[in-house]
A and B are shown apart, each in its own frame.
Chain A
């Protein structure tokens, strides 16, 4: 039987370190989309809380913590990241395994917002977008999910097929911010 080797879509491209900022791939573990059926929102949230200890988040928010996080990803949908979801939740919500559909990047360092400001139209000002906040928007021309995981760190989920383009976009923005900093 052929033995298949798991390979990262950004093998050899990350980690990147430019001017004190680091871009790494985070391996968040399983990703499951949870979309509660109409009228089942509260039941799904309660069942999820009992299963993994975190309820369904409200728009632009996340619940739980690393290893069992629930991130809002759209109208009537959230993704459970890092923990397996028991199939019993399927009585309240549509579940789909999305683990292999996404690549998750972590960008960390002083001035991380300056880099992301070149890539996304989101307002990531620390007074507006706080740790635990999540949003769906664009990174370049790619749809993405943004999650603030620490005061100086964001995770960005991109469709896995666009992983190399995303690294390219990140690298250009990181170099541009570094070049601007070197001028002043």
Chain B
């Protein structure tokens, strides 16, 4: 599997570490406990198909990436810098 990092280009998957679903990009605003935190920490779908995940390019540019991929075919459909997604530049 290869991932096309927006900064580094097409790279081997051994340079990357998956973190999990893109839910991790949207930390709940409230400081106390709430169902939003339950969702943020624990509740995940397990889709057979397209999903969006956070990947860390630790052996490359050290950017966090949002990767859209197909869990059935292992196709990588889209890769963006998480910082761009967060700032609305993607």
Contacts and interface: CB of A to CB of B under 8 A. Distances in A.
A75 B12 contact: no
Contacts of A74: 60-63
Interface in A22-77: 59-60, 74-75
A75 B15 contact: no
B25 interface: no
Contacts of B35: none
A54 to B, nearest CB: 20
A59 B59 contact: no
B59 A138 contact: yes
Interface stretch (B3-11, B44-52, B70-78): B3-11
Contact of B11 (A59, A121, A143): A121
A135 B8 CA distance: 7
Contacts of A86: none
Which one of B8, B9, B81 has the highest number of Cβ atoms from chain A below 10 Å of its Cβ?
A: B8
B74 to A, nearest CB: 17
Interface in B32-74: 58-63
Nearest to A136: B60
Contacts of B27: none
B59 A136 contact: yes
Give the bracket for the number of chain A residues in contact with chain B: 10 to 19
Is the interface on chain B under 10, 10 to 19, 20 to 34, or 35 or more residues? 10 to 19
Given A60-B8, A60-B9, A121-B11, A137 B61 contact: no
Contacts, number: 37
A13 B17 CA distance: 33
A121 B15 contact: yes
B7 to A, nearest CB: 5
Contacts of B63: 74-75
A143 B56 CA distance: 14
Contact of B7 (A59, A122, A138, A143): A59
Residue among B12, B14, B15, B61 with the highest chain A CB neighbour number at 10 A: B61
A96 B61 CA distance: 18
A143 B14 CA distance: 11
A130 to B, nearest CB: 13
Interface of A: 59-60, 74-75, 121-123, 135-138, 143
Interface of B: 7-12, 14-15, 58-63, 81
12 contacts: A60-B7, A60-B9, A74-B61, A75-B61, A75-B62, A75-B63, A121-B14, A121-B15, A123-B10, A136-B8, A136-B59, A137-B11
Nearest 5 pairs between A and B by C-beta? A121-B12, A75-B61, A75-B63, A59-B7, A138-B59
